[in-house]
Chains A and B, each alone.
Chain A
């Protein structure tokens, strides 16, 4: 398993799918790229276990939310590129909304920071 850095948070169950879809919204990307993007965008707070990434990609692909195709990366390497499908977009919209609601609700329950 990955190292436990106190500044980093392991992903909640189910949130990885959401993040992958969100990342792919900006364009096709390969697995490593997706992992890096998530880490970068969360300013290195979110830790993506590369080992769990691929089963998640597999799952999304089987649900028809993403599509995959072999292609060439920026530095000329063969890689499998994932692309979000219309169904995936719809799913993302839905889940994003739900997530926001949940986050707000939990925030309210927990109260102001440091309180």
Chain B
């Protein structure tokens, strides 16, 4: 239906209406807490009770409405995801998310996800006093969220196993974040212990590292973005684990900090990833498939689209002071605020998590530089790519609007946190009577443990001021202008812009990044050597075990009576010794 041109404006209008209603609910939280009149019949009140946007759903509803508006309104999974997120009941939410799952994912994992979702929903159906049932809830919820967000422990990005990123991935990412909060933090009313939180955080960190590695080794731009989104999904799981620890150990500020960071993720990173996905799909129509080994120089050929993609990558790579960096900063501060046992031993998990966070940040940075360097910088590697022309501004509006949202949240996270403040208080278990320290500041981000404050707007102003000083100094210096072309022609006719000299395939390509890292760290040697040794050891042990089994069988067959007698003697001796 939405593919018909006449329906598109209607769908867009619907998304805009959903966004406006969400904003109204966020600005007037009293609307969310209006008690519904209990009535014996299933009427309007019953429908409203099912589809009731509570504070925890609100940030995700707003993000999905923005995604739907920017994506052109032709995405059925987005509509279903919005409907699922808008249900405040955890069981109905689980059913909705399980319905959306086959739309946003494909493959064998989906069946596991649906089964895990059904299991989690059944476990939650027992209510808050579910006893042992709620004690094992995190396992199916984690599997459900992992499948929904497309996370995988696979470190390499083979084309068979990793799908290119598309709009549905953002819907899955947002649904996954909401699922973790809705089922782990909000649903079981404090039944899930801190040890589960630490376990969930550890799994999230490993998944984030695997996602970063996939982004670094991916062969084309869409799969790099899929890997980056996976890495941020792992960070979301880690943050959910921290929120669980905060709830279980009665540390509301830790839970609040982790929850707020989880709200920042879809609005900052999700929107930037969506902008990158839309830009990459638009560029691919002009420049052909964006295989990293065959493209290049798009910053010169497509300056508008290239700048949009570069800015989206800068947010997703956690460059300061943008939203990705803010998320990592809040993550580090939340890890520093973790409750500690006495001594060094109690410190080791948080130190390992901090180190893992640094590795994820490094992998994301390197993946972003690799993609930007091979796609945007340098020279085109094929004539097909060299023939690309820039996109008209109209085709970049959707990507730019998403980037605007991500940029706004990056520079001024305060308004977004103010809109979603009630959800944060609900995660922290503070209710409506939140203390003064739990209220978000409009201009800064505060650390969970009170160890620091981050002012993105101030940093941006400082950088702008320094840039202005540099500009003024360069103008005052009055230096001669830059020659725009190289002086290497030596009388020859001017060469085309993609080949001023030499062969374009000699420039630094995508394989060099991975190869250098492998050469420096010796990862291949490290993985292949012990893995081969392990396989050989297992085979040798299996052969030895089979030989021992054969000999024992032969011995038993030949000397059965002697063995029975020997066993009786040994048993008698043991009994005597025991007396």
A and B: real partners?
A: no
Binding site for B on A (CB under 8 A): none
